[in-house]
Amino acid sequence: MGLAKSKKQGEQNAQFDRGDKLLMFLMLAVLSCTSLFLNLDYDARQESLRRARDLSRLATGRLKMTFELLKVPSSRLDSGDSFSWNNWPVNETAIMELKQLSNMLDPGRLQQREIRGTIREDPFVCGTEREEKCLLQGYDQIRQYNTCAILGSGGILTGSHCGDEIDSHDFVLRFNLAPMDGYQKDVGSKITLTVLNLAIMHTVNIQPKLNPLAMTLRLSNRTMFLAPKGKITRLFKHFYQAVRTNRVVVNFKYFPGSMHEAGQLTIREKLSAHVNMTLTGQPTTGLLAVLTSIHFCHRINLYGFWPFDTDSNNRPVPYHYYTLPYYEPRFPREEPHKKGEHHNFDQEFALYQALQSLGVLHIVDRACKTS
């Protein structure tokens, strides 16, 4: 009797064990499927950010051999944006190496002309035979600066409230007369130097009374302009027209002939060898400006440099922080490697991340204020 009862009890326990195991198996299957779905969805939503991380990993991985030489703490590799704009550690050794590599971009090699659009008669340019002494009373020279903000036009600046922080820098470099009016809370209003490309030289002359580019040119009165690309004969003609139409006085700087296309490719090859990366395409105006700034800026902060369509929190990022009907990007960001494009923005961003890891510059990719 006792044996029969024990046997029956054992059969019931076995049934319960099988039931528990089956229930556990079903629960694990549901959890696995849910996890897989969430992971797939997360991966799909963050495809562009993965591309940035992969490129950054490639760059920093190839640079590890350099960290010991430059005595850069390994924690800088994964520190992210944990430093404020004016107190992150600067690597003087790495900066000195880049200065030597990019010596052809030393501001000491710049040539300059002062352009006075306020003279309505014949073209009037300081530095010509007509007038040798005509300076902007100290606004025409690039000196040494402690903090420099280099301001790209990326939509990552939208809603950033970085305007006050940007204007707090000793030197503020902007590109292509990007609009400031109405965007001051995110991008500030201070201008020390504006870097231009040839396309903007044409666009600024279209409907100057309504064109926001012309508005920025007028706000840039009595400041410096730099054209790192192109021959002076082409650049000067269109820019002088814009200066004269908008009646401003500016100092126009440019590199000698050696910094045209051949010089830019030389810079690219030197950078490729220095960081052990294969950089392709022509250097952008932004990269040339960054390399030039290394020669006179102790602490460089990049704002608006973000080539991806979502931020680190997966929020959509517009192409530019502004809307400009007169000028659209030649190639949309959705096709960053379209055949015929001259630049590779993903590679350059990976390079900036590598330089940040080395303590050369700092990428600001977060809001400066919460409200």
Q: Can you give the CATH number for the domain in which 328 is found?
A: 3.90.1480.20
Residue 34 included in any domain: no
Q: Enumerate long-range contacts of 69-77, CB under 8 Å, 24 or more apart.
A: 70/94, 70/97, 70/358, 70/359, 72/357, 72/358, 72/359, 76/357, 76/358, 76/359, 77/357
**Which of 172, 89, 83 has its CA nearest to residue 366?**
83
Residue 271 included in any domain: yes
Residues 165-181 have a mean pLDDT of 96
Residue 25 included in any domain: no
Among 39-53, 64-78, 162-176, the range scoring the smallest mean pLDDT is: 64-78
Beta bridge partners of 194: 174, 225
Residue 23 included in any domain: no
- 130-155 residue pLDDT tens: 555 566 766 678 999 999 999 999 99
Q: Which domain holds residue 111?
A: 48-364
Among 32-46, 92-106, 237-251, the range scoring the smallest mean pLDDT is: 32-46
CA distance 176 to 325: 15
Phi, psi of 287 (to 5 degrees): -65, -40
pLDDT confidence tier of residue 16, bands split at 50, 70 and 90: very low
- What is the per-residue pLDDT for 254? 86
Residue 198 included in any domain: yes
Residue 94 included in any domain: yes
- What is the per-residue pLDDT for 338? 40
Backbone angle region of 298, left / alpha / beta, with phi > 0 → left and psi within -120 to 50 → alpha = alpha
User: How many structural domains does the chain have?
Assistant: 1
Residue 24 included in any domain: no
- What is the per-residue pLDDT for 133? 56
| Residue predicted with more confidence, 299 or 117 | 299
- 175-224 residue pLDDT tens: 999 999 999 999 999 999 999 987 787 788 878 888 889 999 999 999 99
| Highest mean pLDDT pick, 157-161, 246-250, 260-264 | 157-161
Residue 36 included in any domain: no
Which residue shows structure tokens 């024990």? 6
C-alpha distances (whole Å) from 203 to each of 86, 177, 246 are 35, 10, 14
pLDDT confidence tier of residue 7, bands split at 50, 70 and 90: very low
> Dihedral, CA atoms, 333, 338, 343, 349, nearest 10 degrees?
50
CA distance 7 to 19: 19
Query: Distance between alpha carbon 266 and the CA centroid of its chain, in Å?
Result: 21
pLDDT confidence tier of residue 277, bands split at 50, 70 and 90: confident
CA distance 314 to 117: 46
